[in-house]
Amino acid sequence: MNRLGSERYWLKTVTVAAVLTGAVAGLTATPAEASSVEGIAGWEGDGWLIGVRSTRPWGTVAALTGGEIRWERRDRETMGGPGASVARGGIVAQVEGEIACSRRLRPFILANYSGSARYVYGRAGLRWQISNIEWHGPLTWSLGIEGVGQGNADTDAVQGGATVECAFVRSRISLGVRGGYKNSASSDGGRRDDGYLGAGFYRRF
């Protein structure tokens, strides 16, 4: 393949990806530098990511970056004062990849960094396609397993479990449900064993 042909092939396999995120969480984490003064009772956040995604016969890789803003609700404990809402912003960076080991089996990995909370999130697993192998039908079902690690200086968690995903082929929408075992910790509460259950929505542009 000559240089011009290589450039055309690269352009055909690379697309622009955009992601919008939103999150609401409740937690009881106390910053180490102010453990006797205030604790983070919860937070809400919005963010955006934009980058490139390359799809090849062997799989898909993507790199995205963007920004986010989060509003932390802080409870003042020892001082007896009212709670406060603090806005924090920062960059977000994410890389992800999926390898087509066979027509059914696809290992995947994702890593995300949130600058506003100095928070790292990593997820890896295996996805096994159980229906619509030729992708001619309207729905594609997959089963899988996953492992997740996440945290910052105030809190961390590791978890592992099973996943179920349904992809709507024509609309490029995927719905997923996952659940399993989780071990988490905060700076003031020790470690805790628990289960987790989550759902996700994804649309490919």
Give the structural domain span for 38: 3-203
Q: What is the 3-state secondary structure (H, E, C) of 99-159?
A: ECCCCCEEEEEEEEEECCCCEEEEEEEEEEECCCCCCCCCEEEEEEEEEEEEECCCEEEEE
Q: What is the pLDDT along the chain (205 residues), one digit of tens a residue?
A: 555 454 444 444 566 555 555 444 444 444 333 333 444 545 566 778 888 889 888 999 999 999 888 776 665 554 455 556 777 788 999 999 999 999 999 999 999 999 888 899 999 999 999 999 999 999 999 999 999 999 998 899 999 999 999 999 998 899 999 999 999 997 777 889 999 999 988 776 5
CA atoms in the 13 A half-sphere facing the CB of 183: 5
Angle, vertex CA 107, rays to CA 105 and CA 110, nearest 5:
150
Looking at the structure of the chain, the number of domains it has is: 1
Q: Which two tokens stand for residue 97?
A: 């990849």
